Amino acid sequence: MGDAAHAELLDHEVYQKPFKVEPEFEQRDTPANYRDRHSGDDKLPDKMKVWRVQNTGKTSGSVVARSYGFTDSPDAEVLALGFNHGKEYGAVGVGRHGNFLQWGYSAPPSKMSDAGKKFFVNCVCYIKRFDGKAPLVRTRSSHRLDALRLAALINRIKDKEFFSGSFSSDLMEKYQGDPNGLVQYYKTDFQLIYRDKVYRIDSELKLLGLDSNRSVDTLERLIGLLQDQTHADAARGLLTRYTNESFASAEQWQQWLTANRDRIFFSDVGGYKFFVAPKGYLLPESR
């Protein structure tokens, strides 16, 4: 990443107080890497609106974090998208995870722009609010979007070992020379992707007629199926796969769900599991 941030997100409160951050905008050519890594069906514009956070004159030296799954848990948020020439559009130049705020820009204050200086001061004030709020999840896995990104590369990267942690040998054989086919395979059942050594589609959920592994409704359905002799074993296995809980009875599962429903979230990055945010952890005004 170089000196700039994208203009999105400026309505976040971290740009409003104590200082109003009022950047000067520029239009920059959309980096080629954005197009290479773009998995959406929409077309990226030729130019993008950015603002300078610092003035080192370099196009690298600062750092972004990957965007995939960054916000799949309520303890993390993006504060600035970093304009970069190495990763995807949306990669995180300034972001928060729990009590940590990562300022991805490299320069000391004397080389920050006026807007950058104000933004930095605001970040110091903002992160204070998260004192005592350690992250709820840690990075244990890669997000399901990575399955699509990597599938698109199977022709470009010749070392097949590179994909051994991503795709089963059966799939690699089936889609040999056909990255689009492999991408489509994962796109079709995107909501059912999970990781068990490699990216898999959850055929067991599919057999039960459930179309997502990350919806709280699915959790509710699985708990309901514990009462059904025909599907109870499958449901129990899936609850083990997708939670860190191990209740003995259906009633206990139901009590757990009822008590925590409003605070349950699913995180791919956290290991393709449902988690419960502790009471009082979430600050409503921060989201």
Partner 1 sequence: MLGKHTLKGKSGCTVLTLCCVLVMVFAFGCRKKEQPQGSGQKAPPETTKPVPAADRVYQADTGEKINLRVLYAGVPNSERAKDFVDFLAKHFKEVETADYNAFKEGQSTDFDVTILDYDGVNTRAPRPKISRDYAHATITVGVPGAFICGNLSLKTGYL
The residues of the shown chain that bind partner 1, judged by CB under 8 A, are 17-19, 61-63, 65-66, 69-70, 73, 76, 92, 95-110, 117, 121, 123-125, 127-135, 138-140, 269
**Shortest approach of partner 1 to residue 12 CB, angstroms?**
14
**Shortest approach of partner 1 to residue 63 CB, angstroms?**
5
Closest to partner 1 by CB, 112 vs 171, is 112
Contacts of 93 (CB under 8 A, 6+ apart): 1, 5, 53, 62, 64, 80, 81, 82, 83, 84, 104, 105
One DSSP character per residue, 90-148 reads T-EEEEEETTEEEE-----GGGB-HHHHHHHHHHHHHHHTTTT---S----S--THHHH
Q: ω into residue 18 within 30 of 0, thus cis?
A: yes
Closest to partner 1 by CB, 75 vs 202, is 75
**Shortest approach of partner 1 to residue 232 CB, angstroms?**
35
Closest to partner 1 by CB, 99 vs 191, is 99
One DSSP character per residue, 203-225 reads HHHHHTT---SS-HHHHHHHHHH
**Shortest approach of partner 1 to residue 131 CB, angstroms?**
4
**Shortest approach of partner 1 to residue 61 CB, angstroms?**
5
Q: What value, to the nearest 5°, has the Cα angle with vertex 230 and ends 224 and 234?
A: 70
Closest to partner 1 by CB, 126 vs 185, is 126
Closest to partner 1 by CB, 136 vs 257, is 136
**Shortest approach of partner 1 to residue 70 CB, angstroms?**
5
Main-chain dihedrals φ then ψ at residue 265, nearest 5 degrees = -140, 160
Closest to partner 1 by CB, 6 vs 87, is 87
State the Cα torsion 213-130-90-4 to the nearest 10°. Answer: -170
